[in-house]
Amino acid sequence: MYDKIVNIQRTKLFYLETGLFLVALLLINVIFFPQLPAFKNISPNPLWLVVLLIPARYGRIGALFSGAMTAAVFIGSYWFFYGIDIFFDDPWLLRFPFLFILVGFLLGELKTFFIQREDYLTKRLNEVQNLNEKMMREYDIIKDAHSSLSKDIATTQNSITVFHNVMERLKSFNREDIYNGLVDSFVDYLEVEECSLYELEGNLLKLKINRGWKDYHKRPEVIKNGEGLVGIASQKMKAISIKDFLTGSRDASKVGTLGDGLAAIPVVDSKGKLYAIVSIEKMPFIKMKDATIQTAGVICDIAASSLLNADRFNKVSGKQIENEKYGIYTYDYFLKRLNEEFLRSLNYMMPLSTIVFKLQGMHIKSEESKDALFSTLTSLVKNQLRSFDVTAAGPNEEVPLVILLAMTAGEKAEQIKQNMIEKLKEYAIDDLISAQNLHSSIIVQDYDPHTMSSSKDMLKSAGL
């Protein structure tokens, strides 16, 4: 727009400039060179200034106008001072008007060419600059997208790593191990500084585990369903945070009544069964955001899946009566048979004995070697028993083997124990299975009707 205005102004000005320039030259001619009309015999003729300068400023139009006007002034001056006959006497004078027009036209054409070339190059430069600006904007957009994508990839990789580690940590069939792994995952991966786990027992939530709390800190041991963040999360069976009360429509008066923290996340399996609530009491402020709560929810979902699998495994395992690995009965089956035999002995005054192996300080560290040693132990022990005696796995590693001797008195059980010890010594494995004397490691307990009223009393007397 500015260039158009300048061109319009220049178009109007070259008329004025050409006229003023010629008037100024004629005044100079009249005042300083009155004896030389039209600058006769002055070489080069000063009128050439008009022909050279005006085209250089205005191009083709200015050239034609200035050339024609200069030629007209030249002819008019000679005609006025010398008469028309001078051109017949010296026709060569007409070369000047012709050259004024020709040279002015050529200069104008050259200037016009440069002006058009300049306009073209300027236009191309503007296009290149616009294209460069567009490319720079697109580059910035791509750069931002790349940065955002890189962050998303890094976040996804980190999330995958976290969830993989959580799944490995929660890969267990023991509920206590799963609970501890769940709370530890909150501490390690979500940077939670203080948290608690409440297990659902009936309609009450009982404190099971806590992390980060000092001895002088007090958390409620029992929370009712619907009380505080933990109770509301249990009632709604979905994650609840303090943000829901501070920014939402929930009644904020309930928050803090039980020393509640920042958020409570339920552990609910795919069947809708609620196992526990994880309460977050303290964590860095910058971490307290929706993404963290969502991640915590995913971790709790993984824990719920592990708990569901553990329940299924324990349910199936509880129905098994035989440990197929060693060819002996399970400890649950031993307890069931012990209770049956105890009731029979209680009702019919029949003898009953148990033999408990309390083996400590086993020298073999390799799991494969331990399995082989235990298989040998069970084989040697079963060879000293009757077909209807029950040989079962113990409740833990310190008590790996228990034996139920139905209708067997204590003296007979002691004799069986002695036979077992001699057989173990014969195979030289007595020192491998226990660092203590086998006579004190293998305990015989018989039924005493005066002190025992249930099978639990008999187990207690045997140290179980």
Domain boundary among 302, 317, 332: 317
- Whether 201 and 251 map to the same domain: the answer is yes
Whether residue 151 lies inside any domain: the answer is no
350, 405: one domain? yes
Residue 156 belongs to some domain of the structure:
no
Give the CA angle between residues 38, 44, 50 to the nearest 5°. 70
Say if residue 93 is in the same domain as residue 27: yes
Residue 214, Cα to own-chain centre: how many angstroms?
A: 32
Maximum CA pair distance of the chain? 171
Q: pLDDT > 90: what percent of the chain?
A: 2
Instruction: Find out whether 354 and 403 touch, Cβ atoms under 8 Å.
Output: yes
205 lies in some domain: yes
From first to last of its 464 residues, the chain has per-residue pLDDT tens of 434 434 544 555 767 777 777 788 778 877 887 777 777 767 777 877 777 777 777 777 777 777 778 777 777 777 776 767 666 666 666 777 877 777 777 777 787 788 788 888 889 999 999 999 999 988 888 888 878 777 766 666 666 666 666 667 677 778 888 888 888 888 887 788 888 889 988 888 888 888 887 765 677 888 888 888 888 888 888 888 887 766 654 554 554 444 567 888 899 888 888 899 888 888 887 777 787 888 888 888 888 888 888 887 776 655 555 666 677 888 888 888 888 888 888 887 888 899 998 876 555 545 666 777 778 888 888 888 888 888 888 888 788 888 988 888 888 989 988 888 888 888 777 667 665 677 878 888 888 888 888 888 888 888 87
Q: How many domains does the chain have?
A: 3
Helix H, strand E, coil C: the string for the chain is: CHHHHHHHHHHHHHHHHHHHHHHHHHHHHHHHCCCCHHHCCCCCCCCHHHHHHHHHHHHHHHHHHHHHHHHHHHHHHHHHHHCCHHHHHCHHHHHHHHHHHHHHHHHHHHHHHHHHHHHHHHHHHHHHHHHHHHHHHHHHHHHHHHHHHHHHHHHHHHHHHHHHHHHHHCCCCCHHHHHHHHHHHHHHHCCCCEEEEEEEECCEEEEEEEECCCCCCCCCCEEECCCHHHHHHHHHCCCEEHHHHHHCCCCHHHCCCCCCCCEEEEEECCCCCEEEEEEEEECCHHHCCHHHHHHHHHHHHHHHHHHHHHHHHHHHHHHCCEECCCCEECHHHHHHHHHHHHHHHHHHCCCEEEEEECCCCCCCCCHHHHHHHHHHHHHHHHCCCCCCCEEEECCCCCCCEEEEEECCCHHHHHHHHHHHHHHHHHCCCHHHHCCCCHHHHEEEEECCCCCCCCHHHHHHHCCC
Is the Cα torsion angle 141, 147, 151, 152 positive or negative in sign? positive
> Given 317, 338, 356, which residue is the final one in a domain?
317
Q: Which two tokens stand for residue 436?
A: 């203590």
Q: Which two tokens stand for residue 64?
A: 């034609």
Q: Domain for residue 169, yes or no?
A: no
Same domain membership, residue 288 and residue 216: yes
Rounded-to-10 torsion of CA 106, 109, 115, 118: -90
* Residue 58 near residue 16 (C-beta atoms within 8 A): no
> Of 438, 419, 420, which is closest to residue 430 (Cα–Cα)?
438
Alpha-carbon distance of 422 to 437, in angstroms, equals: 12
Residue 1 has what pLDDT? 41
User: End of a domain among 317, 337, 360?
Assistant: 317
Distance CA 77, CA 386 (A): 154
Q: Are residues 185 and 279 in the same domain?
A: yes
Please write the tens of the pLDDT for every residue from 147-200: 877 776 666 666 666 666 666 767 777 888 888 888 888 888 778 888 888 998
Which domain does 410 fall in, by range? 322-461
Residues 59 and 99 in one domain: yes
Does 103 map to a domain?
yes
Indicate whether 329 and 426 sit together in one domain: yes
Q: How far apart are CA 102 and CA 67, in angstroms?
A: 8
pTM of full prediction above 0.75: no
CA–CA distance, 389 with 235 (Å, rounded to integer): 51
Indicate whether 332 and 271 sit together in one domain: no
In-domain check, residue 138: no
Residue 298's closest CA among 173, 408, 166, 388?
166
Place of tokens 């300048």: 6
58: nearest Cα among 92, 12, 98, 14: 14
Give the contacts of 383 (CB within 8 A, at least 6 positions apart): 423
CATH of the domain at 182: 3.30.450.40
Q: Are residues 194 and 307 in the same domain?
A: yes
- In this structure, the answer to whether residues 310 and 180 fall within a common structural domain is yes
Token pair 């077992």 in the structure block, residue: 420
Q: Residues 106, 221: one domain?
A: no
Q: Is residue 159 part of a domain?
A: no
Give the pLDDT confidence score for residue 5 in this predicted structure: 36
In this structure, are 225 and 115 located in the same domain? no
In a domain, 143, yes or no: no
Predicted local confidence at residue 157, as pLDDT: 61
Is the N-terminal amide bond of 395 cis, ω within 30° of 0?
no
Residue 139 structure tokens: 């580059």
Q: Which two tokens stand for residue 45?
A: 């003729």
